[in-house]
Structure 1
Amino acid sequence: MRSNGGVTEQRVGDPLLTAVTGLLEHPLAGLSDDRVTELLRDVERSTRMLTALTNRLTVEVVERHIPARVGAHGPKGFLMETLRLSSQEAGRRIAAARSLGTWHDMAGEAHEPQHPRTAAALADGDISADHASRIAAVLKRVPGSTADPEFEAAEQVLAEHACTGSPDDIAKVGDAILAYLDPDGKLTDDGDRKRMRGLMIGHQRADGMSPIRGEITPTLRALLDPVVAKMARPGMNNPDDPESPSGDCEYVDREAMVAAAARDTRTAAQRNHDALVALLQPGRSADQLGSHRGLPVSTILTMSITDVERAAGVATTATGGTVPLAEALKLAERSQPFLMVFDHQGVPLHFGRTKRLATAAQRMALIASVRGCTRPGCDAPASLCATHHVTDWIKNGPTDIDNETLACDHCHALVNDGPNGWKTVALGPDSTHPGRTAWIAPPHIDPTRTPRVNNRHHPGELLAEAMSRIHHRNEQHRQSPKQLQRPDKHAA
């Protein structure tokens, strides 16, 4: 409240301050665990929506020239002085308002944000400021201008992914999108990669250690990843554990495998190091590494017939990487070929089996179609995944390709019938993703228990869908520009 000539006025922000003050004073001891979790979600959503409001207010400050009127050193200086912000935080807020705010021209006409889908998701409380800033960082690398359909499609895919994923995943999804937007090497071509390749091992220090640095080509990465996937698996080749499996050992006893992994306290970097030590032991080669999760330790490439016909694009690997098509075809010349056939939804055709364990052919089909862990938000590639029965084997779930999917060891262990367990279901023909595996989160994560799919490993499909919607919308505008209104902020 404030007094104006003896009349008490309510400030615009008073209801907000009153509500927050009330929550701060509200006792929490009497709340159940479910109520505490519910309040935590509500506070987070409100915080995100307030961030969108902050962007609106920042736009008002700039467009009204308030900093100049009060003698501040620009909008950034105004925010630093008025809100006691650091230089970095004030700069971040200005940048966020530039990309997510609705700005006006000299005539007063409003222009939608540079990143409209991201702005809408933030205003709805579906994503955080961290999500939005990481989306903006990826979009800076997208070739072309913000008016290009490819840019719009990339922004849509990133914003939609952010609504169900972690900010930590945004850069990884962005890398996959950029690989599809730049299949012919416009950003980095084969000549650039040849020039940049190299490994440097520094001088050995007095303590015996040697530094190593460098950059490796997609081909070397594709060849190295499957070896590391097996040799550097938790519990494998652990020099501090005499019972650790090593060499070309296959995990026959799952309990022993789990026990070795539980004893393994090494970091990922240390496991990679120990894997190379094991690989380079005298008398051992990559050809003698046996199998990993039922398949030979080798590079598995997936490419579309469309890309092969036009001699452009990228092949994907079972470890989640990409290889330019020309290099992938060279690798394929020396490989044993397998042919995988899929239906129109990208689901591999039926491979019926009566035993519990998936066959090598079934696993190959899953690698080619599913590509990685199917739990929403997980980025584990196929090489780190087990074959999972969507309907469990002990519940009469068949070992058929339409009842199998991929799940990494961590996510696989989350599936159970307990109150905090995850569930998996196969989506029907009327769903958006027929044949795909959807996961149902426990109530503390998603009270609605909505089945959700993981699109992390299918950026090409998401881009194609977004591009199709954008082209359809633009065609409608072109044919009937006067009758059609600007689409809703949630529409493509």
Structure 2
Amino acid sequence: MFDREGRDMSQQQPPAPPVGSTTDLLDALDRMADAVEDIIAHGPDTWGRLSSDDRLQAADRMERSRKKLTVADAAFLSSHEAELPAGPQRQARAVSQIFTTTLRDARNRLAAWTRVAERPDPWGADPTATHPDHMPQLTALVTDGGLDALGVEKVDKQIRALPAQVQDEITRVADGPVADLARKQGPDVLDALRSFLLDLVGAEEPYTEKDHARMRSFTIGQQGCDGMTPVRGLLTPELAASLQRLMADYAKTGDLVEDADTALDDRLPEQRRHDALSAVVHHGYGRGRALTPGRGATTIVAVMPVEQLVSRSGTALTDVGTHVPAATLLNRPDVDLDTYLQVLDVEGRTLTFGRSRRLADLHQYLALVGEEGISSAPGSDSAPAHCHVHHINGWSAGGPTDLDNLTLASPSMHAQVDDSREHEDRWWTLKAPRGSGRRVDWIPPVTVDPERRPAHNDHPTTRRHPGDARRRVFRDSAEPP
């Protein structure tokens, strides 16, 4: 007997399936249903009688159990695969009907299934080999209750957005690092994996400036009966960077309002962004205009390594977290971009500024953009434009305002730092040891880590930032093999 691809099925038998008791499975489901009913029966009064620590631990146990069911969903879908229709849309509709859930949730479960289930091909060259989409270390995190289907779907979506020819390699190489990121920094970090994934396999950004020009769009919709008009579109990296800078300068609480009304500013973030865009349209934004860029006279602040300057390739990271093609910044004299460009040497240090003189505030900020590129505080994803400049050794304790004593810190973390280093229930900052490949060590409060081990921000967006990429060479060389 031969299959549709001409393989002799009589000479190739699928591996024996694992033995399991269907009775035990159904009994376990009955016990789970009963346990859920019991948990629901204990209302807020019962929860309220737990101590705060016990209550939080109980909530963590409940949430971990909920996340672990992602593995059970994958087992069901693997067993039911032959009965699912072909095509992603039809499969999503079928799964949404099976689980009586939304299409969005069904897509999450299907995406998680492709990464969590091993799905070996019984008729393949190696019947025991897992499917190339499988990510065992990410699966282990789900099995431990550390990630749910939505988190796995975030990873799947980021991988599938990359060129098809590198997806299998990225899946294999990125499995451990991505699981480690999610474990240390939480699932939200998985929304910013693109550059991290490309860097793991040494791949260049697949979309060129011509691609961006082709995809750019902006559409003003039909005015609604309420008088409001919707907009939609895709912005090129340089336009996105300029608008993000505008929002950083003029869409914060209290911006663009009279001084007397600053404390009463109750606008939502999206309303403040609308007002900033309105101001730029009506009053102008740029040098010599009514709205000038903050922290300098440039609308785009970007950084790249020296070899990238020479080759004029790759992307440069801006201080608002947007990647702009190097060619756009270097090869487009016809485009009126008000840009500050910083170049770093092989050790991630600034070539633009001398180190023998004290730098002005603006220059220090621009240098930090190049050397750090993001808040150095652990778990933060704040781009430089939204950060405070923090003294590693506190100013009140005699710390100088010199570049090597400064770091970028998100406002929320900056407010939690004890510059005096007297209170162990607050964060401290220390200069990292020379040769460590770090600029600053963040010492967590005892409530976060009783041992107060140095912590760092390894957010995936730093993976391709020139300053951190160069320091990573020193970090990797210092790690034991």
Establish whether TM, by shorter chain, passes 0.5.
yes
Residue pair 2:393, 2:429 contacting (<8 A) in 1 also? yes
2:116 maps to 1:100: yes
Residue pair 1:139, 1:154 contacting (<8 A) in 2 also? no
Query: Offset of 1:303 from its aligned partner?
Result: 1.0
Decide which of 420, 425, 433 is 1:428's aligned counterpart. Answer: 433
2:242 maps to 1:237: no
2:381 maps to 1:379: yes
Aligned to 1:362: 364
Query: Offset of 1:97 from its aligned partner?
Result: 2.6
Residue pair 2:373, 2:465 contacting (<8 A) in 1 also? no
CA distance in 2, matches of 1:25, 1:212: 47
Query: Offset of 1:114 from its aligned partner?
Result: 1.8
Decide which of 133, 141, 144 is 1:121's aligned counterpart. Answer: 141
SS in 2 for 1:302: strand
Aligned to 2:330: 329
Query: Offset of 1:315 from its aligned partner?
Result: 0.8
Query: Offset of 1:168 from its aligned partner?
Result: 3.5
Aligned to 2:164: 144
Aligned to 1:308: 309
Decide which of 416, 430, 455 is 2:458's aligned counterpart. Answer: 455
CA distance in 2, matches of 1:66, 1:204: 46
Residue pair 1:135, 1:155 contacting (<8 A) in 2 also? no
The residue type equivalent to 2:458 in the other structure is N
CA distance in 1, matches of 2:313, 2:368: 24
Quickly say closer, same or farther: Cα 1:179–1:440, change in 2 above 3 A: same
Query: Offset of 1:421 from its aligned partner?
Result: 4.2
Quickly say closer, same or farther: Cα 1:19–1:213, change in 2 above 3 A: closer
Quickly say closer, same or farther: Cα 1:428–1:380, change in 2 above 3 A: same
Quickly say closer, same or farther: Cα 1:152–1:142, change in 2 above 3 A: farther
CA distance in 2, matches of 1:343, 1:53: 48
CA distance in 2, matches of 1:403, 1:264: 34
Residue pair 1:162, 1:170 contacting (<8 A) in 2 also? yes
Q: CA-atom RMSD, angstroms?
A: 4.8
SS in 2 for 1:120: helix
CA distance in 2, matches of 1:9, 1:243: 66
CA distance in 1, matches of 2:330, 2:208: 16
Quickly say closer, same or farther: Cα 1:118–1:180, change in 2 above 3 A: closer
Residue pair 2:375, 2:410 contacting (<8 A) in 1 also? yes
Quickly say closer, same or farther: Cα 1:138–1:383, change in 2 above 3 A: same
Decide which of 174, 182, 198 is 1:162's aligned counterpart. Answer: 182
Query: Offset of 1:141 from its aligned partner?
Result: 1.0
Aligned to 1:255: none
The residue type equivalent to 2:74 in the other structure is N
Quickly say closer, same or farther: Cα 1:439–1:208, change in 2 above 3 A: farther
Residue pair 2:342, 2:350 contacting (<8 A) in 1 also? no
Query: Offset of 1:447 from its aligned partner?
Result: 6.6
Query: Offset of 1:23 from its aligned partner?
Result: 6.9
Structure 1 stretch displaced more, 319-328 or 49-58 = 49-58
CA distance in 1, matches of 2:439, 2:47: 44
Residue pair 1:48, 1:125 contacting (<8 A) in 2 also? yes
CA distance in 2, matches of 1:153, 1:332: 39
Number of residue pairs aligned between Structure 1 and Structure 2? 431
Quickly say closer, same or farther: Cα 1:22–1:202, change in 2 above 3 A: closer
Query: Offset of 1:284 from its aligned partner?
Result: 7.2
CA distance in 1, matches of 2:54, 2:288: 56
The residue type equivalent to 2:415 in the other structure is A
Which TM-score applies when normalising by structure 1?
Answer: 0.69
Q: Percent identity?
A: 25
Quickly say closer, same or farther: Cα 1:202–1:269, change in 2 above 3 A: same
Query: Offset of 1:439 from its aligned partner?
Result: 5.8
Residue pair 1:76, 1:94 contacting (<8 A) in 2 also? no
Query: Offset of 1:132 from its aligned partner?
Result: 1.0
Residue pair 1:146, 1:152 contacting (<8 A) in 2 also? no
Query: Offset of 1:300 from its aligned partner?
Result: 1.0
CA distance in 2, matches of 1:297, 1:78: 51
CA distance in 1, matches of 2:221, 2:25: 70
